Chain A
Amino acid sequence: MTGPSVATGDAVGRGDGTVFDIGYQRYDGPREGRGRARLAVFKDGVRMALGWGRGGRAKILPWSFIGVMVLIGFILALVAGAALLFGGPDAVEQIPSHSDFYGITSIFILVFAAVVAPELLCPDRRNGVINLYLVRPLTGSDYILARWVAFLVVSLIVAWLPQFVLLIGRVMGNPDPAAYLRDNWLDLPRILAAGAAIALFTTTLAMLVAAFASRRAYAAVFLVGLFAVTAPFTAALSAEVEGTVGQWIGLFTLSNIPVHVNDIIFGEVSEVTGSSPTSELSATILVSWYLLWVVVPGVILWARYRKLTP
C-alpha cells in the first residue's frame, strides 16, 4: 500500500489545498474505562431495539408495535371523548381507561418483547461479537446489565407512551382539563408504576429466553408460544377445577402476572383479569409471584453471562 498523494511545496502560498499524510497517530486522549464501555453497550442496545442506524427492515417491527400501542391509546381517548360528549360522565365510566389499558395491551407488549429483545443478544453470540466485547474493559455482568437496562428503557417507552397519549387525550377531551387533572392526578404515578411493572416482567423474561436461543426467531417463537399456550390452557383448567386450586392454577397464565400487579396499583380489577379467579388471591401472593418471575429469570440471565468471563 502506498501512501496517499500529497502536494509539494509548490502549492504553498498560492491558496491551493494541501493534504498531508501525517501517518499513524498514537491516541493520547481520555480513556473512560468501564463506565464508558457500559454506556456504549447500553446505547447500542437501545439503537438495536429501535432499529436506529440499521436499514428500514430493522425499524419495521419495533415501530409497528409502538404505533399499534399508541393507536390503541389514541382510540381509547377518542372514544372517551365521544362518550363524554354524547353520553355524559356516566358513559365515560364504562369506557376502558388507564387501569384497563395494560390488561388489554399486555399481549402486545409481551409479543413486542419476545420479538425485539432477542435482537440485543442473539446476533452478538451468533456472530461472535460477544468475544470482542469481553476482551475490552467490560465483564459479562456489565454486558448483560447494559443490554437489560437498554431493553428495559425501550419497554418503558412502549408501555408508557400510549398511556400518556390516553392521558393527554382524556385531559384535552374534558371540558375542564384542570379539574380533570386535579381529580385524577394519581393516575400519573399509577401509570408509571404499572408500566414499570409490565416492562420489568417482559424485559427479564424475554432477555432470559434470548440468552439461551441461538437465533432471534427461535426465541420469539418460543416466548410467544409460551404465552399463547399457557393463557387458554390455564384459564380453562382454573375454571374447571374452581376453588383455591383453580386460583393457583390461574397464576400460570403468564400474560396476566403483571396485570394482577397493575390491578393492585390501580386498586381495581381490570376487564381481562376480572374473569380470572386468581384475582381473588391476596395482593401479597400476587406481588410475590410477580417478583419471583422477575427475580429468578433475572438471576439466571445474569449467571448465564457472568460465567462468560472468569
Chain B
Amino acid sequence: MTRAVDMPHPTPVAAAPSRGEPIVAARDLVKRYGDVVALDGVSFGIYDGITGILGENGAGKSTAIKIFLGLLEPTSGTAIVLGEDASTNVEVRGKLGYMPEHDCLPTTVTAAEFLTHMAEVTGLPPLRARTRAADTLRHVGLFEERYRAIGGYSTGMKQRVKLAQALVHDPRMVFLDEPTAGLDPAGREEMLDLVRKTHREFGISILFSSHLMSDVERTCDRIVVLQGGALVQAGEVSDLTSETESVFIEVDANQDALLTELEARGVEATVAAGGIHVENADAAAYDRIRDAIVAAEAPLRRLAPQRRALTELFTPEDPPMATEVAS
C-alpha cells in the first residue's frame, strides 16, 4: 500500500548569510532629473542574502534598483552588479531578475506561455524554457492555474506571476520592487513567505524594496535605509535592533526599591506600562539587574528582553517615514 506523506522542504541552500564581497555595490551614486535629486551620492554594498531597501515614496529606492539593472544611467558614480555595470554589459542581466512595482503582465496569454517566453528572452533554449516555466510556476503555487490567461488572475496571483518571471531563468540575484504592494494581509504574508523561500531554499540573493518597515524587518537579513535620496542607515537588521534591546521587569512588590537599587548600580531604568524598562541592556546589565532584584527583595513576576522594532528605531529622526508607516 502506498502511503502519502507531506514532503518537507529541502535543506536550505543558503540559510546562513555570509558577508564576503558585495554582489551589488553603489559608489557615490547620483541621479538627477533636472532639478530633482533622486539619489544624492549614496554608497553601499549588498551581500548574499535578503537585503531590504527601505524608504518612503520618492526616497530613491526604485531609482537605485533601475540603475543597478541598467535601465537608468546615473548622473555620476558607479553601480556594479555581480562585478559588472549592467548598463554597458547586457549579458550580465541574464543573471538578474526583476519584479517591478507596477503592472508588467500581458493579459491575453497564459502564465505558462508568458514565462516560457520570458525564459527564452533571457537566453534559455525553448525546450528548457518550457520546463523551467512549469517548475517555477509550481514553486510560486500557480501550477494548477498555469494555462489560464493572466488577465483573469487575482492581484495576488498576478504578483506571483511577476515573481515567477523574475525567477524563471534561475538568476543569481533578484530585485523585488515593492512586492507586497496592493496585497491584502493574507496575500502579503504569502508573498513574504515566497520571498524568504526564494533565498533560503533556492539560494537566490534578493534586494527587496519596501516602504513598510514591518515587511523588511520580518524578511530581510540586512537593510539599506534611504530618505530623500540620501543614505540614512545600512547594516544587519539584527545589529540595528540589538543595539536598542531593552529589558522589561515586572515585580509584585518593592518596585520603588528596585528602581533605587538599579540606579545605585548604574542601570538606567524607567517606569512604563506597569513595569520597569531598562534600555540598551547588554550582558553585564543583566547581572546588575539580577543583583538589584535580590537587594530590593522584589518578588519577580517577569523579566523579559524586548527588541525594538525598526519602526521605533527610525521614527524619532524621520517623521515623514513614521507617517508613511502609520498610514
Binding site for B on A (CB under 8 A): 1-8, 10-11, 16, 18, 21-27, 29-34, 36-37, 39-41, 43-44, 53-55, 58, 123-124, 127-129, 131-139, 309-310
Q: Is the CB of A137 within 8 A of B141?
A: no
Interface range on chain B: under 10, 10 to 19, 20 to 34, or 35 or more?
35 or more
Q: Is the CB of A2 within 8 A of B120?
A: no
Q: Cβ of B165 < 8 Å from any Cβ of A?
A: yes
Q: Is the CB of A32 within 8 A of B124?
A: yes
Binding site for A on B (CB under 8 A): 1-10, 13, 69-73, 87, 90-91, 93-94, 96, 98, 100, 102-109, 113, 117-118, 120-125, 128, 132, 135, 139, 141, 149, 165, 169-170, 190, 193, 197, 201-203
**Residues of chain B contacted by A29 (CB below 8 angstroms):** 124-125, 128
Q: Is the CB of B4 within 8 A of A7?
A: yes
Q: Is the CB of B71 within 8 A of A2?
A: no
Q: A5-B7, A36-B125, A40-B117 are in contact. Are A135 and B201 (CB under 8 A)?
A: no
**Residues of chain A contacted by B98 (CB below 8 angstroms):** 131-132, 135
A133 vs B120: C-alpha distance when bound (angstroms): 11
Pick from A6, A24, A127: contact of B107, CB below 8 A: A127
A22 vs B8: C-alpha distance when bound (angstroms): 10
A11 vs B201: C-alpha distance when bound (angstroms): 28
Q: Is the CB of B125 within 8 A of A5?
A: no
A10 vs B132: C-alpha distance when bound (angstroms): 31
Pick from A6, A22, A310: contact of B87, CB below 8 A: A310
Task: Pick from A2, A18, A134 the residue with the most CB of B within 10 Å.
Answer: A134
Pick from B1, B8, B123: contact of A32, CB below 8 A: B123
Chain A's closest residue to B110 (CB) is A53
Chain A's closest residue to B150 (CB) is A127
Q: A32-B124, A40-B117 are in contact. Are A136 and B10 (CB under 8 A)?
A: no
Pick from B4, B128, B193, B197: contact of A6, CB below 8 A: B4
**Residues of chain B contacted by A3 (CB below 8 angstroms):** 6-9
Q: Is the CB of B3 within 8 A of A8?
A: yes
A133 vs B105: C-alpha distance when bound (angstroms): 11
Q: A10-B1, A128-B103 are in contact. Are A2 and B123 (CB under 8 A)?
A: no
Q: A5-B5, A7-B3, A54-B109 are in contact. Are A131 and B93 (CB under 8 A)?
A: no
Q: Is the CB of B93 within 8 A of A36?
A: no
Q: Is the CB of A27 within 8 A of B132?
A: yes
In the A-B complex, list the 8 residue pairs whose CB atoms are closest, starting with the nearest: A3-B7, A23-B10, A310-B73, A27-B170, A40-B120, A128-B104, A5-B4, A135-B98
Pick from B70, B90, B121: contact of A40, CB below 8 A: B121
Q: A5-B7, A27-B170 are in contact. Are A139 and B100 (CB under 8 A)?
A: no
